[in-house]
Structure 1
């Protein structure tokens, strides 16, 4: 069944706050959050999409980096606090940064209904992708979190291997029936960083994403790129030239 059209007046009861989590210590691609892409800093693409979503009350950037904070403010986001250094290391789970941001908002501005995370590293999402996540969460009271996914290109049933103790390759998951073609393998999806929509209380109480009831929104591959390496950024520049400059 197709999702109903998004109606901002109908959904006005939900208080939605968008967050962008962008720490300053990226090692794979230094300075990636403020690196220019299609004429503006990478993080600005996420801020712009969040600000175009009429149901979003405000856009808050959580960062430990003053340069990122300044860029975020210049593009219309709030940076009302700096992320504690212990939540901005290579090993600190972002889940804890999510909790910190939720607790800050609850303490300073009161309860809200939907936590919306729009990572800075996913610049090609659309407003419709974000709306679909919020709508999916609202339509099922039992759902704790909605994640975006894309069709997986590799399958542990067909073309992903591990090496055994003898150094020989084996399928990650051995199928119980013959799988001679990729089409015969179970349909699988990759989680993307396009958007996460969740109930704040779930994040505060759970230890990890899949502790709760998770639903998905499928996005096409061309909108699902997650920039983490120099190669990813090169690919993003090629996509941007086609998408933004054509």
Structure 2
């Protein structure tokens, strides 16, 4: 059984410039994903797909193999799914076919080994095409999420008239960037994460933070330092 980990880290982040190599609790953000992948016994190779030389240097020093991402796949408008397809093809040509693809975005540094293993095992034991990670949502489209309509007014995202209390709304979850587990064939034959049958594992919110802004980074720093003190 061959399971490979992939980390996709382009250099052009605008929400938090250079976020993939910002130091979080003493080490570059991307190294958190590389190090946790090393701790999963079933993962035999770790790849970082990037268009950025500095990110590549940091990742290589941490023990990852670098996939040079084409410039056209590293813009603000390019879909990361295309980079997944590029990486699968690159690895297949260099090392031959493999069974499972595990994406570990650098923006979720607080994931645990148990979260990755749970996602891998879930996909192995179901008929789904892909396993994503989720966490309990703090807001519900059935009760306290709104969207704009005409005349600068708002309405509920999902306006079911029979739901009058949050307790009555269906349980909803946020998709996290803790882990995505699928197969190379699914990636090459489809156009996105939700194209096929999707299963999930639930991750506690404290391990599911997704860093996109400075506030996210500062919160992750706080949680990381707290965990290191235990």
Deviation at 1:163, TM superposition (A): 2.1
2:45 corresponds to 1:69? no
Matches of 1:69 and 1:211, distance apart in 2: 31
Q: Could you list the per-position Cα deviations for residues 10-66 of structure 1 after superposition, in whole angstroms to 9, with x for gaps in the alignment?
A: xxxx21000000000001101100000011000000000000111001100000011
Off by >6 Å, runs of 4+ in structure 1: none
2:76 corresponds to 1:96? no
2:73 corresponds to 1:84? no
Distance 1:245 1:36, change over 3 A: farther
**1:105 equivalent in structure 2:** 91
**2:141 equivalent in structure 1:** 156
Matches of 2:151 and 2:75, distance apart in 1: 37
2:143/2:163 contact within 8 Å kept: no
Paired residues for 1:180-219 under 5 Å: 181-219=165-203
SS at 1:128 equivalent: helix
**2:229 equivalent in structure 1:** 245
Q: Could you list the per-position Cα deviations for residues 77-102 of structure 1 after superposition, in whole angstroms to 9, with x for gaps in the alignment?
A: 111x3110000000000000000000
Distance 1:178 1:20, change over 3 A: closer
**1:115 equivalent in structure 2:** 101
Cα RMSD (Å)? 0.9
Deviation at 1:176, TM superposition (A): 4.0
Deviation at 1:210, TM superposition (A): 1.4
Structure 2: runs of 5 or more not aligned: none
Q: TM-score, length-normalised on structure 1?
A: 0.91
> Number of matched residues?
230
Deviation at 1:186, TM superposition (A): 0.8
SS at 1:149 equivalent: strand
2:213 equivalent among 209, 214, 229 = 229
Matches of 2:69 and 2:229, distance apart in 1: 35
Q: TM-score, length-normalised on structure 2?
A: 0.98
